Amino acid sequence: MDANELGSELSKILVTEAELKARLAEMAREIEADYAGAEQPPLLVGVLKGAVMVMADLARELSFHAEMDWMAVSSYGASTKSSGVVRILKDLDTEIAHRDVLIVEDIIDSGLTLSWLKENLESRGANSVRICAMLRKPDAAKVEVDVAYVGFDIPTDFVVGYGLDYAERYRNLRDVGVLAEHVYADAG
């Protein structure tokens, strides 16, 4: 889906498809260099559903055999989200003890999901657990998360596209855009 098909639903385009693609290529080169000495390439772990686009593009950009697995997680609701407790809806199919794991995410907002997930995967005996996130909202951070690879730091706006949704819409928008206020105000 192209932004121009959305009319006034976006107040602006924040990161274009071309910018996402160019930055992903740079990140892939960094990742290749960092894991060059490893015995085995890292296992890429995508967090459903938002990470689907970045996983598909990053994996194809990488020059090593990129093994992929997926998790689905959910907070118990607004109150629990702030406590950082996360429920696993779909776990990995892969045994990760002694593996290098690279978590692939679309966005880090409060940081609670990723900080919980990193600790959870480390507790399974992974050799290393690093995070790659396409977007990060530094001003929204509630916990510090050590992110090895970040695409873009962005303001705390309501962003959609490139995997990010509002009510399951806009995930297939090619760019990352700011959702116009009237869209969610009308709904609420």
Which stretch in 26-34, 58-66, 89-97, 104-112 sits in contact with ligand PRP by CB under 6 A? 104-112
Contact 75, 85 (CB under 8 A): yes
Count the site residues for ligand PRP by CB under 6 A. Answer: 15
User: Rounded CA gap, 121 and 151, in Å?
Assistant: 22
Q: Give the closest residue to 107 by CA, choosing from 162, 144, 31, 146.
A: 162
In this structure, are residues 10 and 178 in contact, taking their beta carbons and an 8 Å threshold?
A: yes
In whole angstroms, how close is the CB of 82 to ligand PRP at the nearest point?
9
Q: Does 49 bind ligand PRP (CB under 6 A)?
A: yes
Shortest approach of ligand PRP to residue 141 CB, angstroms? 8
Residue 15 touches ligand PRP, criterion: CB under 6 A: no
| Span interacting with ligand PRP, options 87-95, 112-120, 152-160, 172-180, rule CB under 6 A | 112-120
Pick the binder of ligand PRP from 41, 50, 161, 177 (CB under 6 A): 50
Element at 66 (helix H, strand E) = none
Active site residue 109: yes
Nearest CA to 54 among 29, 13, 83, 25? 25
